[in-house]
Amino acid sequence: MPPGGSTTRRSPTPDKAIGLDPTFAPAYNARGNVYFARLEYDKSIVDYDKAISLDPKFALALVNRGNAYYAKQEYDKAFADYDKAIGLDPRSALAYNGRGFIHAARREYDKAFADSDKAIGLDPTFAPAYNARGNVYFARLEYDKSIVDYDKSISLDPKFALALINRGNAYYVKLEYDRAFADFDRGIGLDPKSARAYNGRGNVYYDKLQYDKSIVDYGKSIGLDPTFAPAYNNRGNAWKAKREFDKAIADYDKAIELDAKFAWSYQNRGDAYSAKQEYEKAIADYEKAIGLDPKFALAYCNRGNAYSGKREHDKAIADFDKTIGLNPKYAPAYNNRGNAWQAKGEFDKAIADFDKAIELDPNYALAYNNRAWFWATCPDEKHRDGKRAVESATRACELSAWMYFGFLDTLAAAHAETGDFGAAIKWQGKALELLPKDDEPNRKDLGARLTLYQTKKPYREKPATGLPLPESAQPSRP
């Protein structure tokens, strides 16, 4: 649906009407609407131009031409048409709604809200205006208010697929996945050609860890709209979650080709390169993301992780400091800075950061794990505490449903520190059982620690070399 709402006033045979009267402006407007519905925007504009030249006060043709310019992302031309239409017809809800979309595209949300509100005041039954105002609330992160407006829009027009998709997005960011899924699914039923509906449903599958299903939906989204960069970005995230990093990078490449200013695609590609230990490439991508968005806290955090991977801990700490400055409540930044302090041998600062990460997020499994690893394996005896290490490692395992080999490895090291080598051998064996078959580097490390425990020896990190697990930012799924 065009931003101004449905303005189609079709003659059954606009060509015939034009043939009978080449000066009849509404016939050109009607044929323009036909072209618009076919997504032939340039042809529609030619006909709207003709209608307006024949009748310069034809406000509806101006709104329609504005819709076509909006669809082509020629926002200045669209704005001029909506503005002129309002001047000709101050009671045109369509024109106010369209102009509001331009303000929203420019991130002028107060002006967008005012125009949507005006459209609703002029026509309280105009469903697209409630949808548009809902979009403004969404952009302001006022998700509950956005849902109220989407609800109203859908009640006025139960077949309004776009409003359903938008409400699905609002439920999604509120983590109400079942409601989001229902809206995306219904949106697909009403509009099977909606790339954004498949993308949205793919996001729900992704967050439910159903990566294969998410990849199918992202693929459908891309098939419907090969120019839709977010679907490539999101499919890249799913490939990355499946550790198919080359496929992920190929999708991020495509997203960047389509939208070179999409900072999240650079950030996410950086994560994929980091996972491949190609840290220079990762750092270059994080820097590009930061250049596009200097307040992109997660990109600083993940660049810090890449510097840690290169053992450039001072640079890493500087990036974690920057992350914390931008988002003081972001627990992973403290966790990761704790890793860097530990690697530098600054143990008091390390434990303080692990504690802070847990204080900010009491369900943060990785921070419990890293704190436990510190207490169990620190080369400085005064900082080791086997009992507290077991408690912290157990909590990490509980939070991860005892399904992550790295946390079980830490629990084994903690028991070894207490002198309970039987428990250490047990948990190290279970860690090896959970380890992916093709993960030879970790299999070698875990096997070496198992041998230590079998000889009743605890594991110790070497001075100033220990590097616990970092936390990468979660990828964005627009």
What pLDDT is recorded for position 436?
86
For the domain made up of 261-328, give the CATH fold.
1.25.40
pLDDT tens, residue by residue, 144-171: 999 999 999 999 999 999 999 999 999 9
Asked whether the beta carbons of 278 and 265 are under 8 A apart, the reply is no
| Closest to 410 in 3D by CA, of 380, 441, 386 | 386
Asked whether the beta carbons of 40 and 72 are under 8 A apart, the reply is no
Please indicate whether the domains covering 1-123 and 331-454 agree at the CATH topology level.
Answer: yes
Report the C-alpha gap between 34 and 235 in whole angstroms.
Answer: 34
Q: Give the architecture-level CATH label for domain 1-123.
A: Alpha Horseshoe (1.25)
pLDDT tens, residue by residue, 33-46: 999 999 999 999 99
pLDDT tens, residue by residue, 306-350: 999 999 999 999 999 999 999 999 999 999 999 999 999 999 999
CA angle at 45 for the pair 40 and 46, rounded to the nearest 5°: 105
Q: Which residues contact 378 (CB under 8 A, 6 or more apart)?
A: 342, 347, 384, 460, 461, 466
Asked whether the beta carbons of 163 and 153 are under 8 A apart, the reply is yes
User: Region 266-270: what's the mean pLDDT?
Assistant: 98
CA angle at 282 for the pair 279 and 285, rounded to the nearest 5°: 155
Report the C-alpha gap between 450 and 432 in whole angstroms.
Answer: 9
Query: Is it the case that residue 139 has pLDDT exceeding 90?
Result: yes
Query: Is it the case that residue 469 has pLDDT exceeding 90?
Result: no
Scanning the structure block, which residue is given the tokens 């190290």?
A: 428
Report the C-alpha gap between 443 and 437 in whole angstroms.
Answer: 8
Q: Where are the alpha helices (DSSP H) in 72-194?
A: 75-88, 93-105, 109-122, 127-139, 143-156, 161-173, 177-190
Asked whether the beta carbons of 69 and 95 are under 8 A apart, the reply is no
Domain 193-258, CATH: 1.25.40.10
Domain ranges of the chain: 1-123, 193-258, 261-328, 331-454
Name the band, by pLDDT with cuts 50, 70 and 90, for residue 437.
confident
Model pTM? 0.83
What are φ and ψ of residue 379, in 5° steps? -70, -20
Name the band, by pLDDT with cuts 50, 70 and 90, for residue 8.
very low
| Closest to 303 in 3D by CA, of 353, 267, 343, 354 | 267
Query: Is it the case that residue 115 has pLDDT exceeding 60?
Result: yes
Name the band, by pLDDT with cuts 50, 70 and 90, for residue 462.
confident
Residue 310: both structure tokens together: 């290169």
Query: Is it the case that residue 467 has pLDDT exceeding 80?
Result: no
Q: Give the architecture-level CATH label for domain 331-454.
A: Alpha Horseshoe (1.25)
What pLDDT is recorded for position 475?
45
Report the C-alpha gap between 373 and 416 in whole angstroms.
Answer: 11
pLDDT tens, residue by residue, 385-416: 999 999 999 999 999 999 999 999 999 999 99
Amino acid identity, position 458: P
Query: Is it the case that residue 172 has pLDDT exceeding 60?
Result: yes
Q: Is 141 exposed, middle or buried (0-12, 13-18, 19+ CB in 10 A)?
A: exposed
What percent helix, strand, coil does the chain show, rounded to 5? 75, 0, 25
Percent of the chain with pLDDT over 70: 94
